[in-house]
């Protein structure tokens, strides 16, 4: 699968490494072109000068930037998102980390879908910390990759991508369910912040409904 990752922070780098090891064709783009090149070179991926050029030949675009930066990134992507699968891995945290900035309103994913030009948006990977994204099988347990979206074919593609790096895809429902996925992520983040956690806690569902396990 051809994947464009926008962002070279902990999440973008971790996912890029796992995707590359799974045999996917990964291209990075970021504000800092030098860093994008270095991250790409370290994992055997490529780097592009702009988000739009990275996305141009990709099957999937991964938004791995802070939620506050997604508007500017979507502006840069422009028509490059049209018809493409866009994976939103963001969590819309308040600046003081006291909760979600979207509390009581549409999720980050729904807002991204409204702003992206013709994109097929899927919420995924946001409930998994970068340390787990970098090596999903390290705990010896199969970690669940919760995902949500309105386009069934797009969700199937994202489920395939999750499965390829060792996750168990779990379909959480329509894109509106991203509100719950972002809340789950915040619960996990809050647990780490309040308790000095090691940031490798992961969600593993016990006996989920068979129909929720993405085929």
What are the boundaries of each domain within the chain?
A: 2-212
Average pLDDT over residues 183-194: 94
Q: What is the mean pLDDT of residues 183-211?
A: 92
> What is the number of other CB atoms lying within 10 angstroms of the CB of residue 43?
16
Mean pLDDT in residue range 107-118: 96
Identify the residue whose tokens are 């051809």. Answer: 2
Looking at domain 2-212, its CATH class is: alpha beta
Inter-residue contact 66 to 42 (CB < 8 Å): no
pLDDT band at residue 169 under the 50/70/90 scheme: very high
Q: How far apart are CA 88 and CA 109, in angstroms?
A: 6
pLDDT band per the 50, 70, 90 thresholds, residue 215: low
Confidence of residue 117 (pLDDT cuts 50, 70, 90): confident
Give me the percent of the chain exceeding a pLDDT of 90.
Answer: 91
What pLDDT is stored for residue 18 in this prediction? 98
139-157 pLDDT, tens per residue?
999 999 999 999 999 999 9
Q: For residues 3-36, b (16+ Cβ closer than 10 Å) or e, as one string?
A: bbbbbbeebbbbbbbbbbeeebebbbbbeeeeeb
Q: Provide the β-strand partners of residue 62.
A: 5, 87
Query: What pTM was computed for the model?
Result: 0.96
Distance CA 96, CA 180 (A): 21
The pLDDT, as a whole number, for residue 33 is: 94
Cβ distance 188 to 203 under 8 Å?
Answer: yes
**pLDDT of 174 above 90:** yes
Burial 166-177 (b: 16+ CB within 10 A, else e): bbbbbbbbebeb
Percent of the chain with pLDDT over 70: 99
Output the CA torsion sign for 86, 152, 150, 95.
negative
CB-based contact 114:133 (threshold 8 Å): no
User: Using H for helix, E for strand and C for coil, what is the string for 50-83?
Assistant: CHHHHHCCCCEEEECCCHHHHHHHHHHHHHHHCC
Evaluate whether 171 touches 147 at the Cβ level (below 8 Å): yes
pLDDT in tens, 44-88: 999 999 999 999 989 999 999 999 999 999 999 999 999 999 999
Average pLDDT, stretch 110-117?
95
135: Cα separation from own chain's centroid: 15
Cβ-proximal residues to 25 (8 Å cutoff; 6+ apart), any chain = 1, 2, 3
């Amino acid at each position: 699968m051809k994947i464009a990752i926008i962002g070279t922070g902990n999440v973008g780098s971790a996912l890029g490494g796992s995707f590359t090891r799974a045999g996917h064709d990964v291209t990075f783009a970021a504000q800092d072109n030098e860093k994008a090149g270095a991250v790409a070179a370290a994992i055997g991926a490529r780097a592009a000068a702009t988000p739009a050029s990275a996305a141009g030949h990709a099957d999937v675009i991964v938004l791995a930037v802070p939620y506050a930066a997604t508007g500017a990134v979507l502006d840069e992507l422009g028509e490059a998102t049209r018809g493409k699968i866009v994976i939103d891995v963001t969590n819309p945290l308040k600046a003081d980390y006291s909760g979600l900035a979207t509390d009581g309103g549409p999720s980050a994913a729904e807002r991204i879908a409204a702003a992206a030009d013709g994109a097929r948006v899927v919420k995924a990977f946001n409930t998994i910390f970068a340390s787990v994204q970098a090596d999903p099988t390290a705990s010896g347990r199969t970690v669940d990759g919760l995902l949500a979206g309105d386009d069934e074919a797009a969700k199937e593609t994202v489920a395939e991508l999750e499965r390829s790096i060792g996750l168990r895809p779990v379909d959480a429902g329509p894109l509106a369910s991203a509100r719950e996925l972002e809340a789950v992520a915040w619960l996990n983040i809050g647990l780490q912040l309040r308790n000095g956690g090691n940031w490798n806690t992961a969600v593993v569902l016990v006996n989920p409904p068979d129909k929720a396990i993405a085929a």
